[in-house]
Amino acid sequence: MGLKQAYNLVYEKIIWGIPCRIFDSLYITANILSVLRTALILPIYYYIFVVPEPQFRTAFWIFLAAIIADSGDGVLSRYLEEKYITKGKPIKKLWLKLQQLPYVGWLFHVGVSNNGKLIDATFDKLTIIPLFYFFYLDYQMLTRIMGVALTHLEVISFCLGMMKYYAEKNHPVQIQNSGSSFWGKAKMVTECVAISFILCYTPFNPHTMLAAQILIILALPLALLSVKGHFSAITSSPFQGEVRVR
């Protein structure tokens, strides 16, 4: 057994095995989990902005829960894919009915899908970008410059990802490239660790802010590589001319 196979066994079968079964029994799909973990941004803002004394540690634990849920929605989608699609177990009737609902039917999709990848990327940005905007409002100029640059790279990366997805939507051979890249995942991890440093030790601690700033500096080239990957996928697509005609 190779290292990657061992990692997948431990992470997906052992660590996430029981949680996936619980989510399945509660009729929670991967897309619903994505929405739920993004909704955790609301109590984070509550404990930072609304309460008389900001409770950064409480916000940290909520943010940690969002990160854990983010790491598990992909595993849950593959679990449901294997159970209901690969192994052929009948999809629950309630899910089949809910999938037909307008506007919200995508929430109840079972298994891996290209729409699910787009949804996951969208909610990643909805979680990260508002937090970054907050953290760079009251700090020194260099921190704000780096934060604004990274935040705008996130927006550009998201827009290019959307363009790539819709340009290739009708071409299944190319759509597989619409998932997140290695650089995008590395960037996301770096950003989450930086935010965790700030929340866990409060943004007024100079030592943890220094660690967060270093991580932000490391995230900048990763964000550039992620943007470059999205842009290259769009410009090199053999169908881009066909999409323009449409």
pLDDT tens readout for residues 41-75:
889 888 988 888 888 889 899 999 998 988 888 89
Per the CB < 8 A criterion, the answer to whether 71 and 61 are in contact is no
The two three-digit tokens of residue 110, written as one number: 């079972």
pLDDT tens readout for residues 112-159:
876 777 777 777 887 777 777 666 655 566 666 777 788 788 888 778
Per the CB < 8 A criterion, the answer to whether 157 and 188 are in contact is no
Per the CB < 8 A criterion, the answer to whether 135 and 60 are in contact is no
SS3 per residue for the chain: CCHHHHHHHHHHHHHCHHHHHHHHHCCCCHHHHHHHHHHCHHHHHHHHHHCCCCCHHHHHHHHHHHHHHHHHHHHHHHHHHHHHHHCCCCCCHHHHHHCCCCCCHHHHCCCCCHHHHHHHHHHHHHHHHHHHHHHCCCCCHHHHHHHHHHHHHHHHHHHHHHHHHHHCCCCHHHHHHHCCCHHHHHHHHHHHHHHHHHHHHCCCCHHHHHHHHHHHHHHHHHHHHHHHHHHHHHHCCCCHHHHHHC
Pairwise CA distance, residues 219 & 227, whole Å: 12
The two three-digit tokens of residue 199, written as one number: 């929340």
For 213-219, what is the mean pLDDT?
Answer: 84
Pairwise CA distance, residues 170 & 60, whole Å: 41
Q: 185: pLDDT confidence band, cut at 50, 70 and 90?
A: confident
Q: Taking all residues of the chain, what is their mean pLDDT, rounded to a whole number? A: 80
What pLDDT does residue 53 have? Answer: 87
Nearest by Cα to 236 from 164, 186, 147, 153:
164
Burial of 50 (0-12, 13-18, 19+ CB in 10 A): exposed
